[in-house]
Amino acid sequence: MDFIEQGSKNYKQTALAFFAAGFNTFAILYVVQPILPDLTEYYGVSPTTASLSLSVTTFTLAISMLIFGSVSEAVGRKNIMVISMLAASIFCIFTAFSPTFGTLIVMRALQGVVLAGLPSIAMAYLGEEIHPRSLPGAMGLYISGNALGAVFGRVFSGVAAGLWGWQFGLIGVGAVSLVATIIFWYALSPSKHFVKREFNVKDLFKSLTEHLKNPLLIILFIMGFLLLGTNVSLYNYVSFVLIEDFNISQTIVSWVYLIFLVGVLSSMFSGQLVYKFGKVVMLYAGIIIAVCGLLVVLIPSVWMIVIGLVLFTFGFFIAHSLTSGWVGNIAHSNKAQASSLYLFFYYTGSSVGGTAAGVFWMQGGWLGVSLMNISFLVICLILFMTFLYLLKRRIWHFK
């Protein structure tokens, strides 16, 4: 079969397209995180309420991802992804002109729905069109696009907010995302190996419920929920701490989000470390390093907070990559649906954790948020020990 292979012109165009796609998706998804203090002041809402501008997007994204993957099986891949990116970019620009906070929330909810059309389909397209031996490289560029998009969206919107106002941050990210959409549309070839299937809601529901009967998968899903809940809540409120407690400007605070590039390094090193020490040891290590980072951020010093964020981020990416990877090993069948369920719990954790942290922030400040996050990771450790116990005792049969 005529698969796309590394080194060919088509491969380079496809890799560029999905780098742009990943960049678009995550820049828009996280664009509001550094400007939460601005939204609090502009609309006269509490920090907890302001955090809904991110939570509602990740929640609608999580729900929609369960549907878009199956819909694409019936109508095709590329068109849905292009429309998804285009609509999300336009909505991002429109969000800057929201007259009320309620309008902004509606726009952000719609962004979550349309954004789901890309991550739920991207891996399916790459798996169908790229030669298996060339797939890791293409996936690596797509994930790099995710990471760089998430960093760009946060840093650019924060810097723009400090210089010209938060509206310019949203408009700028939306405009860059439109350019990424054009690159994606132009560079990506239509599917050659896509086989149309009838969309069957009953089969979709059956495959999802089958996975939810597997206690090992449920444990991994909950761990994903807690991991991203911790990550988002920590980064939601660190800007409040640095601006209010240390009197640092919004423009400078925004550069803190460059720490997410540590995630790229973490992913690179974790593969080598897993080969040397094994998945079990490294997942324990990832969670423990993240906990240590949360303890360090409690030290009342800007540099200690930065060091703590670096430690947490390094540990988080190790733990997340190994947890998500284990899902494919445990799922009996319909592995794509199992991965979709993991992402559903993962992004729902972002919504719940990001908003719940607001309650702890109002009651206990930075200490309250940190203690909530430490509790989340301790529960992760307990869940992982339970997971290993079930595997060892072979209480649940799996292939």
Are 280 and 385 a contacting pair, CB within 8 Å? no
Half-sphere exposure for 344 (CA within 13 Å, toward CB):
18
pLDDT of residue 288: 97
Half-sphere exposure for 59 (CA within 13 Å, toward CB):
15
Q: Do domains 7-199 and 200-399 have the same CATH topology?
A: yes
Mean pLDDT of 50-57: 95
pLDDT in tens, 169-194: 999 999 999 999 999 999 998 877 66
Asked if pLDDT for residue 148 goes beyond 80, the answer is yes
> With the CA atoms of 181, 184, 187 and 192 taken in that order, what torsion angle do they form, in degrees rounded to the nearest 10?
-130
pLDDT of residue 313: 93
pLDDT of residue 221: 94
Are 151 and 257 a contacting pair, CB within 8 Å? yes
Query: pLDDT higher for 207 or 318?
Result: 318
Are 110 and 137 a contacting pair, CB within 8 Å? no
pLDDT in tens, 74-112: 676 888 899 999 999 999 999 999 999 999 999 999 999
pLDDT in tens, 352-387: 998 899 999 999 999 999 999 999 999 999 999 999
The CATH number of 200-399, from 1.20.1250.20, 3.40.225.10, 1.10.3720.10, 3.90.25.10, is 1.20.1250.20
As given in the structure block, the two tokens for residue 103 are 């309008």
pLDDT of residue 276: 84
As given in the structure block, the two tokens for residue 53 are 């501008």
pTM for the full model?
0.85
C-alpha closest to that of 181 among 93, 88, 107: 88
The CATH number of 7-199, from 3.40.50.620, 3.40.640.10, 2.60.40.10, 1.20.1250.20, is 1.20.1250.20
Give SS3 for 355. Answer: helix
Query: In the chain, what percentage of residues exceed pLDDT 70?
Result: 90
Asked if pLDDT for residue 209 goes beyond 90, the answer is no
Residue 22: partners with Cβ closer than 8 Å, 6 or more residues away = 122, 142, 143, 144, 145, 146, 147, 148, 149
Asked if pLDDT for residue 392 goes beyond 60, the answer is yes
pLDDT in tens, 8-46: 888 889 889 988 998 999 999 999 999 999 999 999 999
pLDDT of residue 398: 43
Asked if pLDDT for residue 65 goes beyond 90, the answer is no
pLDDT of residue 15: 86
pLDDT in tens, 282-335: 999 999 999 999 999 999 999 999 999 999 999 998 898 888 878 877 876 666
As given in the structure block, the two tokens for residue 124 are 């399916």
Query: pLDDT higher for 7 or 322?
Result: 322
pLDDT of residue 73: 66
Give SS3 for 130. Answer: strand
How far apart (Å, rounded) are the C-alpha atoms in residues 287 and 41? 35
pLDDT of residue 307: 96
pLDDT of residue 271: 67
Give SS3 for 4. Answer: strand
How far apart (Å, rounded) are the C-alpha atoms in residues 47 and 45? 7
Return the domain boundaries, the chain. 7-199, 200-399
pLDDT in tens, 228-286: 999 999 999 999 999 989 999 888 999 999 998 887 777 667 767 777 888 899 999 99
Per-residue pLDDT band at 136 (split at 50, 70, 90): low
Asked if pLDDT for residue 399 goes beyond 50, the answer is no
Are 296 and 325 a contacting pair, CB within 8 Å? no
pLDDT of residue 78: 85
Query: In the chain, what percentage of residues exceed pLDDT 90?
Result: 58
